Chains A and B, each alone.
Chain A
Amino acid sequence: DTAVSQTPKYLVTQMGNDKSIKCEQNLGHDTMYWYKQDSKKFLKIMFSYNNKELIINETVPNRFSPKSPDKAHLNLHINSLELGDSAVYFCASSQEGRELMTQYFGPGTRLLVL
């Protein structure tokens, strides 16, 4: 079974549209994340949630809104998509604690805004 799954894998859409990406983890982890990897391959944290509570909220436009219905799911909704939003979005999860910080990543969602 896939540990961290994301849907969709590919997303091609027009500027101005609203889209959502879903993420689920079956590892029993307490913390989930969203990362953005741009064309230069730089992986940047966007949000993290711990037990459904927002912990990290980096400087991300308000058009991006994460939602965590339970600790196994962290979805990302993007309003009014812009060309610069084109990137690969990775979901990840980890457990708390010094020895347990290993992050497990989903396969990524490749978003292309036209």
Chain B
Amino acid sequence: RKEVEQDPGPFNVPEGATVAFNCTYSNSASQSFFWYRQDCRKEPKLLMSVYSSGNEDGRFTAQLNRASQYISLLIRDSKLSDSATYLCVVGYYNNNDMRFGAGTRLTVKP
């Protein structure tokens, strides 16, 4: 079983739609949680950290459920520029180790 699992998609949605991505992680010792974004043929970049209390950044909302070992990302009012692969990431403070999911591909269409 992979340490971080995501639905690979693809998710094809129209502009303005709301879309949600889910992620599960297997190691209960995971300590930090993130969503990264990767555009085609580019490097991954941090989208947002994920906190137990949930956090929001504009149109993006991230949630963490430690009991269920589940992380989510909600994108409201999708834009064409949101088209990318979204990577779920878990980390460990003691050695700065980071484990990436395989990513969920999103295409937003006009």
Contacts and interface: CB of A to CB of B under 8 A. Distances in A.
Interface residues of A, number: 25
B44 A90 contact: yes
A97 B95 CA distance: 10
A96 B95 CA distance: 8
Interface string A24-44: 000000010101000011111
A75 interface: no
Interface residues of B, number: 23
Main secondary structure of the interface of B (DSSP, over half): strand
A31 B91 CA distance: 14
Given A40-B102, A41-B102, A42-B102, A101 B44 contact: no
Top 6 A-B residue pairs of the complex, sorted by shortest distance between their CB atoms = A105-B43, A43-B100, A42-B102, A31-B96, A102-B46, A55-B95
21 contacts: A40-B102, A41-B38, A41-B85, A42-B100, A43-B87, A43-B100, A43-B102, A44-B100, A45-B97, A45-B99, A48-B95, A90-B44, A94-B98, A101-B91, A101-B93, A102-B46, A102-B49, A103-B44, A103-B98, A105-B44, A107-B43
